[in-house]
Each structure stands twice: as C-alpha cells, then as structure tokens.
Structure 1
Amino acid sequence: MPVVKLQRPTLTTSEKLTLPSIFKGFLVTLGHAFKSLAGKSRGADSLNGSGLGVTMQYPEQKWDGELPEYYRGAPALVTDEQDRERCVSCQLCEFICPPKAIKIVPGEIPSDDEWAKVEKRPKAFDIDMIRCIYCGMCEEVCPEQAIYLRKDYAITGLSRAEMVHDKEKLYEIGGKRVGLVNKWNELK
C-alpha cells in the first residue's frame, strides 16, 4: 500500500494572528446585543418572554404551551375508567429499561376478587426518577398501555428518597386512561 503524503493548507496572515478572530467574535456578539436592545430577539414573541431577549421567567411562565407533540416527560401508571390497575406485572418495562430505573414486585389478585382470572398485579412498582432517561421504551413495550410518559418536565425532590416514585405516587400523577384493557377483557 503506497504512502500518501498530505500537505497542510497554508494559512493567510490574518489566520495566523489571533486578534482578528477575537475581533470577529466580538462583532457578532455586539450585533446580537444591539438587536436585542432595538426590540425583542427572534423567538421571543412565541415564548412570551418579558423584557428584552428570549429569557423566560420560569416559575411564573411555563413551557406547557410550547411543548412539541413528541415530547417525552416522566413516566406514570394509569388506571382504567373504573379505577382498576391496568398493569399485569409482566415486567417487560423493567427488563427493557436501559438505566434499570424500574423495579416491580409482582403480586397475586385474591381468589375472592371478581377479576381473579387475571394472573397478577404489581405489589410494588417503583421508578427512580434520578436514573430514568425518559427514553419511552417502557411505554412502547407495555402490552396493557398501563405506563405513559406525561408532559411533565419539573420533577423535583429534596432527597434521593423523594425521587423514587412508588406505585401510589405513580397512580396519583398518572390518572385515568379510557380505552380497552386486555387484562379486563371478558373474552380472554
């Protein structure tokens, strides 16, 4: 295999000096500053920014109206319209979760229950929101559509323990979902 020798491009005098490049960067920054002083910058009207520029005043103004349709927020569990758990503890979401943020302990449905034909339900369902990367794989793999990514971006806590959402918290923030649930299908 022949050896190919590459020639470096020769730099001009202005490229060899650092000062002209710094000056060009300064002019670009100065141009943006004057545009924002003359009026709102590009994009500020759509964000309802206050004052100059596109800065959003966060606690008072929220991104809720600006979130795109494909935005993936934090996961939550949902119930059906009769407040029954949709989750069947198949543990597919736990197995597919890349950062291993989901932990499920399956539990049996009591035999005296009307829906005892259903094999199981989660005894414990925990999602560590610190580990969660909001990839949406848990939502895609769920056969019963029991887990959804909601459009929530402000997930806070004062300790690590507060950032682990248990089953009750996940159902509280998830709410109800209307639609066919295979788990409760009479024909199954």
Structure 2
Amino acid sequence: MSFALDDPDDHVQRHLVRGRFYEADLLPTHGDLVWMRSTVLDVGANVGNHTVWYALRTRAARVYPFEPNPPTAALLRDTVERNGLAKVDLTHLGKGVGSRRRDLYVHAAPGEHNLGGTSLRKQGDVAVAVHPLDGLDFEGPISLVKIDVEGMELQVLAGAEALVAEHRPGLAAEVRTKHLAAFWAWVEAHDYHVVRAHKMYADNVNYVCVPRS
C-alpha cells in the first residue's frame, strides 16, 4: 500500500509518510459501524486517509470519496489507481457537498502544510460544483457517512435528510465549536445517539453517532 503525497510536512500526510493512518485511534470506532457489503461515504476525503482505511480494513463493499479541491482529489485518485482499490468508487470525486446544488470556490487554508484546512466559499478563483447528498446516486445500503468539511457539516446534514431517513447510517462528523448547539439539536431531532466524542483541537470535536431506531 502506497499513498500519492506532495508534502511530507502536511498535517495529515506526515502521518502517512511514517506508515501510520491519521486519526488511527478513531478509525476502529468508524469500522464498527460498517455493515457487511455496505456502502461508506467519505465526505471531505482529503488525500484518502479514511477512504483507504475503509476500503482495506472494513467489511464495506464500496467507498465513495468526496474531495472538491482539485490538487488533493488528484492525489487521492492516484493512490486509488496505483493500488488497485476496487472498492473505491470515484464517481463523485471532485464534487463538494452541501445543502443544495450551487457553485462555490476553493479557499486554501491560511499558512502552509494543511491541505485539510481547505474550505469552500462564495468567492474565489477555482469553482466547484456542490451537491446535496440527496441529489446523488449511490449503490448499496449506506452504513456510514463520515463528514469533515471545515465548517459545512450542518449544511451537509441538511442536504441528506432523505438519505438519513432511508438508510439510518452511522455518522462520524467533525463539528466546529460554534456549531455544537445546532449539531446536538440535529442529533436529537433525528433520533441519534452520540457514542463517542473526541476533542483533538480547540476549535472542533469529532463525534461518532448511531441511530436510536
């Protein structure tokens, strides 16, 4: 297994360079929620850390990564193709995910060595098509949706109402501190239960949630 990388000092890539998965302590909790022969959505896939782990270490039949930043998406595609990861479906690679269909623009994170800090904004130079998950097609029952989208997590959830109602997937979401109240309101309104909360950084919390019913 080898990753296509472009910056050994990058926040995520520096783990992969050393032969370790980023957020390795959280990934097994994600894996526990993946059913046999099910589908996983990796929304905000970066260079493919989670996508590759889901493909290699879980019982999923397929993994759909979403990564709107063109250079980052190219690295992920290279990794999938060079390793022959047949479980990874690249149909939606390059798309952004939000509450409705529109175009937004890629905004690189301030400073260096953090591709994962790239966000989507209303103005910029590189346009990206943003879609609600409810407007896209996926094969198979969806057991897990992972969301790491630099502050757009509630927009992603708002665009996945039908998907959540139909599939009742597990959720693994990075939530900005300023969105915590709204996220907990969503959890209660959709009858979910938080089974793990992990605070790695001051500005966000990683939650793992399962449906109550």
Q: Which has the higher contact order (CA 8 A, sep 6+)?
A: 1
- Flag the structure with higher strand content: 2
TM-score, scaled to structure 2: 0.23
Point out the structure with max Rg over C-alpha. 1
